[in-house]
Each structure stands twice: as structure tokens, then as C-alpha cells.
Chain A
């Protein structure tokens, strides 16, 4: 058992403490706390989980257990433009797999990875509920409907200068 040093900036620590305090440091609010922290930091690195653990008095192993249980939480930084391909049933039967393949090919990424320049990350998700537009791709908050593999290159082009 050796002691571990965790490095975070003071303002980050304060932010996490503030988030925890806004939920009365109640361990039962862990998932809400994680949501807020991920909203703020973009992901949930180990350091952030350690601070939450101290604040909520929940073992960090348990927090990690929760983070790895829910697919919404991530411990790897997402790209500036996170790309999510809907793999819901409706999208699947309308060819989402091929669209995903195309994104993988164009970006040279696997699902769950981020481009080295931090610009794009690729993930698949289950049904955004826009089945009428299947297959659906989300980049950030923007939704693209009825995406064909051929559209992928053009979609990515929109982000060339951002």
C-alpha cells in the first residue's frame, strides 16, 4: 500500500467540491454528480473520481464501478467533435453499420477512440429516438439524418476549419 499523489488544478478541485456540495455530498446522488462533472470536464479521469470519492465518502473503487457500468460515462477525453453513430434497431436495419464503417475508415479510428489531434472521437450509441431519420449520426449536438456512407466525407468536411 503506497500513497498515491493525485494532481489536479486548484480550480478543478474547487469545481468538483462545488458540484458535490450542490448535491449535499449525498452518496446517493453519485450519478448526478458524475453527470455534472463529466459535463464540466468532458470526461471522468481518475483524479476527478478520487476527489468525488473524498467528498461523497464513497470508496473510489465503487465510483469506478459505477463509471464503468454506465455507457454514458467515459474516462477518455472525447474529441472536440464527438461523433456518435446510432446503432438502434431502426438505424441498424437501414444500414448504420456501413455508415460506422465509413467513419472508421475516414478517421482511422475504432469505436471509443479519439483522433490524435483531439478533434474527433467516435462512439456508437443506442437509439437517439430519431428513428424516422435512420440512420442517424450525431456530431456534438447536431443531428444528421438519413446518412449514407457516401455522405460521410462531406459531413466531416463541415468541420475542417473548426
Chain B
């Protein structure tokens, strides 16, 4: 191999690009050429460093020196000083606000990275279909330690002390849950892993199962040891074929290696895991519904108590946790409760995986410590809003959650703050919306989901959500009246207050939260009959600006209902009575003469 060249990596992430990192790269190239260094020094564009607020970011390799806030005018100094003379440009280094210390390398700055991978620790690192790689990355070490050196109560104490709360939505303390299941005596108990990830837009559980299945298997065995269960069940969506295949492989390998099955590692503890399939019912994310589904029944929830920890699968004490929760267990055992509880906020410990989606640049999975702000998530890790549009809202918690707005951008995200803001953690879907999204339509979209996913058992959820959806439809069609908003709110409150399970108790959240945060948008729909975002077709009016229209007749020819009239070379007119608002004319017009009012 040839001798290493110097390479200057310029962040080309959206955040830095917005801050003109392109110009920085160009200036650097010019300087390199000016100094005839093109054979030894190269400029490379990279993706986002996750340091968007410090951008543009430039990293010089192999020295591993990171410069922040680099302007095109700094290029000369970087080349002259650093590249030619080997002297680091101190003024462009990152300064730790607390200590005043200048940090040089990406390594030193790693503590400032917004993301922290605990759950996703092995995703993308190990071959999920090769247990040896998992073992090399500490899999089953925690199980070994638990089985040989700890009592169940000691393990439960660690989990309790770690402050871990269920990642499936409710945020119930995991250690406490295990303790209750442990205390209920029975001849048989079950450990269930809820992998029926149903929130549209959330896919962290699938990623963990696809990337690091042993993390879940090991944690289930640990849980089994604690609650004295010898059987584990993973309830997984049938729509996740890859995750299913990898889980099956992982289970088979773990059995082959004696890390699951009879008498694990000769400790006398036996634990076996089976897979059960979901079949497309969101409500089965609810524990009791999930258990009924595993029993071959319709996935209808039942009243709690009794909780699954008392009478669950086959009437036996059952502990249900979701994938992400289980994935936290082994690191907690290995690194201790104190370590885990040092991460996060007072009442929400550890990290949370979010699935960023919607109008955001860096769509994908991120894992951040609890307490990270929405601003950090969206504008730094997420790289900001697509196409430079304005941030409007972020929906968390999926169809059960609510939306966070501009005013929540600096709120640290944790279980309690989200609830206080009228939303919820849910499973961690985070959908970003921009100025083009109509919040009434967004609420309607979520209701559409709930209506389809309601199991139909209890009246408020079965009928109430349908009525909510109808009323929102009515409003988006411009047929609403101001009094409808009060009715909407009352229906929401009653549905929340009276529904049988979590689905109905939270399904009105998207409506309530948009009603709260975007009241004026609702009012515009019911009073002025306008959709401020220009999304509601029935509230739009296509209009030709006479000054821009050259009379090319293209619009008139494309109109499917002949709503456009006009002489050739004369401005055309749209008859709003006939127009069906299909938008074909607007697409066809080359002169930007057609607008939506």
C-alpha cells in the first residue's frame, strides 16, 4: 500500500451544507492547488458528523484534528499552518464550555456526540447470523454472571436501581414489573417479548432483532431466571420476515451452544424460547391483547387487573417487555445500575431509540440519552428539515401520541416531559412535519389509523373514534362549524376517559394535541373555510394570475372537467364551480400563473 496521504474531510451533511460547507471545500481545494499539494492532500465530502450546530465541520486525517465553524476564509490558514507546517489552528478547535479546554480530535470530542448507543450497540457491527460474533461482543456474559454469581433478587435490584422503564410506551419500571412477576407463585411462568412493533413509523425493535437478536434472547433468559420462568415467547409481527429469520437462526444457534435450553452452562437453569406470530393488529401491542393473540384468540384486550404478572399467558404469571427494554438489560448487568442511571434525566434513565421520519433530512434510527432536546434531535442529529422548509411539529408516540411544536424544541425529551406536553414516548416514532402539513389532516390521518385498528370491543373506541374521524373529515371538507370544535374536544375527552385499553385511552391524543397547539388552524377550517397549509383539497381554490398567464391554453387542454376557459393568447380563467381541484393545470403551467388560494 502506498504511503498515507493527508485527507481533509469536509462535512457535507445538510446542516453544514446550509452553512456553506461547499464553499469551504472549494476554498480548501483552491488552496491545495495553489500550493501544488494535490498529490498529497485530498478533500473529501462526508455525511453528517452530528455536530450541526458547530458546523461547518472539517476533520484532518490521519492527524484526527477537528475544526469547527470553518469559513471559506479559514481555508488558507488550515493549509498554511496545519498542512504545510504541521501546526494545529487552535482558534478553530472546539472549546469545552465548562473546562475551557480546547479539544483537538474526534476522539476527544466523542463525549459531545449527541448519540449514545446502548440498545443499538451491536447493530451493524456483528453478523446477526453468527453467534460467535455476538459472543465476541460480550453476548451471554451478563447471563453467565447472573447465573453464577447473583440471586434473582440481586438481579432485580440492579434492574430496579438502574431506573430502567419500559420502552414500549407506558414507561412502567421494568425492575418492579419483574419483582411482581417473581412474587406471584405458580408452577409455570412465562417471559414474553413484545416484538409486535405496530406504531407506523417506528422500527427500532425490528432493527435490534435484525442486527443483534442475541441481546434480546439473553435478556429474556435473565428475566426468566429472575421470575422463575423456564419458557420465553417472542410475539413478533409476521410482516418482519427478516427479523423472524434471524431470530430463528439465533435461537437455534444459542441452543446448539447450550446458551438456551436445558441446564444452561451447567448452572441448573433451563430456559427455552419460542416464536409466536402477530398477524397485523396494532391493538396486540397491549399486553392483555397480545396474550390473547398468543393463545390463538382475537387480540382483544381485557380489563386490568388482573395484570399479566398475576394471570397472563395460559392464566400463568407472565412478564411482558418489549424488545428495546430487553436490549438494555445486559449492559445494565455488566456495567451496573449506577452507570445506567447516570445517563438520562431524573425519572427517565438511559437512552431512547427514536425512528426519525417525515420531513427531516437524516431519516433513520438514532439513540440518544433521555433528556436530549427535540432541537438537538431534529436539527443536529436529524440534519434539519428537508428542502429548507420551516419546522412545524413533531409527532411522537405514533397514533397514541401528540405533537410537539416550536415551543417544545428545547424541552428535554423524557417520559414525563412528553406527557406534560400532551404527547407520549410511545415506542419512539418521531415524525417531523413542516409548514406544508395541515394539522387537521394529520390528526385525521392518525384517526384513520385508529379507526382501522380499534378492536371493536368497547363502544367509545369502536364508535367514538369513527365519529371523531367523521367530524375531522367534515371539517377538512369545509363543512364544519365553530361549535364542532367543542364537540370534538368533548368526544376526545370521553373516549380517553372511558375506553377499555391504552389504544382508545390515547387515540384522541393527536386530535387534542393539535387542537391545543394549532387551534387557529382548526378555526381557519371552520370559520374562514380555509386550510392554511393548502392541503385540504376542498378548501383550495385554484386561481390564474392574469398577469402571468400568456394564454398558451395548456391548462385548458389538460383540465379533465373543462373548468378553464380563455381565448388563445389571452389570460385564462378557472371556474371554481366546475373545478375538481385535481391540480393538473398547475402542474402543466410553465409560467407559474396558477396558484392555490
Contacts and interface: CB of A to CB of B under 8 A. Distances in A.
B203 interface: yes
Interface string B339-360: 0000000000000000101110
A126 B276 CA distance: 20
Given A35-B279, A69-B455, A71-B281, A127 B359 contact: no
B364 interface: yes
A92 B433 CA distance: 11
A26 B359 CA distance: 47
B281 A69 contact: yes
Nearest to B295: A28
Contacts of B358: 89-90, 93-94
A21 interface: no
B299 interface: yes
A89 B198 contact: no
B49 to A, nearest CB: 19
A162 interface: no
Interface centre among A62, A65, A88, A128 (most CB of B within 10 A): A88
A41 B33 CA distance: 67
A65 to B, nearest CB: 6
Contacts of A28: 294-296, 314
B355 A131 contact: yes
A32 interface: yes
B276 A31 contact: yes
B201 A30 contact: no
Interface in B98-112: none
Contacts of A151: none
A99 interface: no
A141 B241 CA distance: 10
Given A71-B279, A134-B363, A129 B206 contact: yes
A94 B239 CA distance: 21
Contacts of B442: 93
Interface in B253-295: 276-282, 293-295
Given A34-B279, A132-B364, A88 B298 contact: no
B445 A31 contact: no
A126 B449 contact: yes
Contacts of A29: 296
Given A28-B295, A89-B357, A70 B203 contact: no
Contact of B363 (A26, A70, A132): A132
Interface in A90-118: 90, 92-94
Given A127-B199, A129-B203, A134-B357, A72 B280 contact: yes
Given A126-B449, A127-B199, A132-B364, A72 B297 contact: no
Contacts of B314: 28
Contacts of A69: 281, 298-299, 455
Given A90-B358, A134-B357, A126 B279 contact: no
A45 to B, nearest CB: 17
Given A35-B238, A72-B280, A126-B198, A89 B296 contact: no
Contact of B437 (A27, A35, A70, A93): A93
Interface in A62-100: 62, 65-66, 69-73, 87-90, 92-94
A132 B382 CA distance: 12
A30 B200 contact: no
B282 A31 contact: no
B129 interface: no
B398 interface: yes
A32 B455 contact: no
B518 interface: no
B293 to A, nearest CB: 6
A30 B296 CA distance: 5
B431 interface: yes
A129 B240 contact: yes
A71 B358 CA distance: 25
Given A31-B277, A72-B279, 4 more contacts: A31-B293, A66-B297, A71-B279, A127-B202
9 contacts: A34-B279, A72-B238, A72-B278, A126-B282, A127-B199, A127-B202, A129-B206, A129-B207, A132-B357
Interface of B: 197-203, 206-207, 238-241, 276-282, 293-299, 314, 355, 357-359, 363-364, 395, 398, 429, 431, 433, 437, 442, 445-446, 449, 452-453, 455
